[in-house]
Amino acid sequence: MSIPAVQPPVASFPPFTLRQLDYLVAAAEAGTIVGAAERMHVSPSTMSDAITQLERLLHTRLCVRRKAEGLTLTSAGEQVVADARVLLRGAQELYASLVSSTDQLSGPVSIGCFPTLGPTVLPPLLTAFADSHPRLHVEVIEASQDRLAELLASGRVDVAFVYDVQLPRSVRRERLFTLPPHVLLPAGHRLAAMPHVRLEDLADEDFIMLDSPPSRSHALSIFDARGLTPRIRHRTGNPDVVRTLVGRGLGYGMLVQRHMDPGAVRGFPVVMKEIWPPVPPLSIDVVWPAEYEPTQRTKAVIEFARGVEWPRVELGGSPVPPPPRVLPIPDDVRTGSSFDNQLKGQRDDADHD
């Protein structure tokens, strides 16, 4: 009579460490061991050895490392990184809940911001919000909308402030305020004294384009809707360069964000003119991942943003109507219900005020 083989006992806890998982996630996000090591403030050899040890413990190759091409995850590595992000996030929340007092939030919160929104969005976050939560470590990351979407998906960013243009389906969002695009003209332009301008009247002039997503596609769609093709003379990813070149008389521009003092751009004044017929305003949203319930720190940022008196721009003497606050999310995107219901309740209360 044969004796069945005895299975080795299963360990009550896995043999790998959170630090090894953290190094793997950092390397996947940076694309190189060297870049990840710099971010984590360790030597490349320390990080490489930790990832190698993790592969041995899991009996699986997680990544391919080549000096010239950086680091590429295997299919198993992609799954481990996705699961590791959830595990690391849970560990961070556990630690934060243990070290926090009952009435004060503590720990890190990473806020993403589209660069041109920085002058409007960041000051209240870095002053009033930070003062209200002195034990929070607020980190700000400025990046393009595409990059911010990646950072939100990876968990590197908790919440972001972006334009409501080409947003992925994997985010929950709430509108904060709206701003209509405007035309920038040199102070001495023939149309500078007009209350507003028609794009048709500028069709034969040079256009200085803000060439960064989503600004580029949004501006071109406005021209296209009127059957126009702008005569692009210069492209730049910096709105201050647009203002400066316009001020020097090299063309006209189109921006959404209002400059604090448009008449004093490095000694070359410009004027802002509303577009006629009016262009639909662009929404500025606060967004966060839809796949999981936001942390208490993320909720604090969102709730603070809801209470800020954001700028309102009048068109033709009439205030821009306030947009609906919380936007619907597709049914096929998973999200926790408690915070969504909380926001809905706050919105209903505001509607009855």
Q: Tell me the average confidence (pLDDT) per consecutive run of 10 residues in the chain, 353 residues long.
A: 49 81 91 90 93 92 84 91 84 71 76 92 94 91 90 88 88 92 95 95 96 88 96 93 94 85 66 93 93 87 94 50 41 46 55 48
Residues with Cβ < 8 Å from 187, sequence gap 6 or more?
A: 247, 263, 269, 270, 271
CA dihedral 244, 245, 251, 252 (to 10 degrees): -30
Q: Are 284 and 310 in contact (CB under 8 A)?
A: yes
- Cα–Cα distance measured from residue 33 to residue 70, given in angstroms and rounded to the nearest whole number: 7
Q: Give yes or no for a cis peptide into 181 (omega within 30° of 0).
A: no
- What is the reported pTM? 0.69
Which amino acid belongs to residue 11? A
Tokens 């699961």 map to which residue? Answer: 83
- Cα–Cα distance measured from residue 180 to residue 315, given in angstroms and rounded to the nearest whole number: 8
- Identify the bridge partners of residue 343 per DSSP, sorted by sequence position: none
Domains of the chain: residue spans and CATH: 18-83 (1.10.10.10), 102-177+282-352 (3.40.190.10), 181-275 (3.40.190.10)
- Identify the bridge partners of residue 284 per DSSP, sorted by sequence position: 163, 177
Compute how many other C-beta atoms are within 10 angstroms of the C-beta atom of residue 330.
Answer: 9
pLDDT at 327: 43
Handedness of CA 311, 313, 319, 325 (dihedral sign): negative
Residues with Cβ < 8 Å from 266, sequence gap 6 or more?
A: 244, 247
Nearest to 296, CA basis, from 133, 112, 154? 133
pLDDT at 9: 53
Nearest to 87, CA basis, from 16, 150, 38, 151? 16
Which amino acid belongs to residue 94? L
Nearest to 140, CA basis, from 126, 120, 124? 126
Q: Are 44 and 34 in contact (CB under 8 A)?
A: yes
Instruction: Using DSSP, state whether 74 is helix, strand or coil.
Output: coil
Handedness of CA 244, 246, 251, 252 (dihedral sign): positive
